[in-house]
Amino acid sequence: NKIYEAVTAVRVQEKVKPICDLEEITRIEFKGHILVTLQKQGDVWQNANYMYLNYDQERLKEWVALLQSAQTVEVVKNAESESDYGISDESMMITVFDANNQSETYRIGQYVKADHKLYLKCNEDEDISVVAETLAENLCVLPNEFVIYDNLLKIEQVQKVTCTQADKTYQVVEEAGNWYLKDYYKMPCVLTAEAMSDWTEQVKALKFES
């Protein structure tokens, strides 16, 4: 009887309700191992701590629009352990804010790809919400995936390279078509053009993957 009562206490019900009630979102906080905050300035999303990062604005707008239009498909009631659904203190937490600092928080739980479902806690709801695949994949995106990283390294022409090894720093400098190693030996040394060309071309060819 006790087993029967425990099993039947947890109920999964179909329930359709909006995920987000905010009409406008102007700030997003992603809190995992670190906190990443994206702020909307006019129509542009930026990371105030790393202003040099360029974010994919269209992807972010789609992310926000999908969140605002998304609905649950089910709710889990009377769950004895939220950790069974992947929800704990270690879970990714997403908090969205409007211009009036009103906020909503989502704790992201387990994504069961076979069932196309994601479990999450919305604000302080007692029930665990279940959302379908489209929103699930959207919410599981980490903030750094929105960064456009292929243009972070732009070097048209290398004229000086500074290298630090242990506590020793030296420079390779181009002067009048020749490359010189400075601050390493007592007098500057000339480097071969072929060696420098190989080196600088490798640097310019670097591609970021994430």
Whole-structure pTM over 0.75, yes or no?
no
Element (H, E) at 201: helix 193-204
Q: Give the three-class secondary structure for 116.
A: coil
Q: Give the three-class secondary structure for 48.
A: coil
Q: What is the pLDDT of residues 3-18, one digit of tens each?
A: 545 555 667 777 788 8
pLDDT at 46: 96
Nearest-angstrom CA–CA distance, 3 and 39: 49
Task: Mark 126-135 as b/e (b = at least 16 C-beta within 10 Å).
Answer: ebbbbbbeeb
Q: What is the pLDDT of residues 170-207, one digit of tens each?
A: 889 988 889 999 878 888 799 998 988 888 888 778 77
Give phi and psi for 88, each to the nearest 5.
Answer: -155, -175
pLDDT at 208: 75
Q: What is the pLDDT of residues 157-167, one digit of tens each?
A: 778 888 888 88
Give phi and psi for 64, each to the nearest 5.
Answer: -65, -45
Q: What is the pLDDT of residues 99-118, one digit of tens each?
A: 999 999 999 999 888 888 89
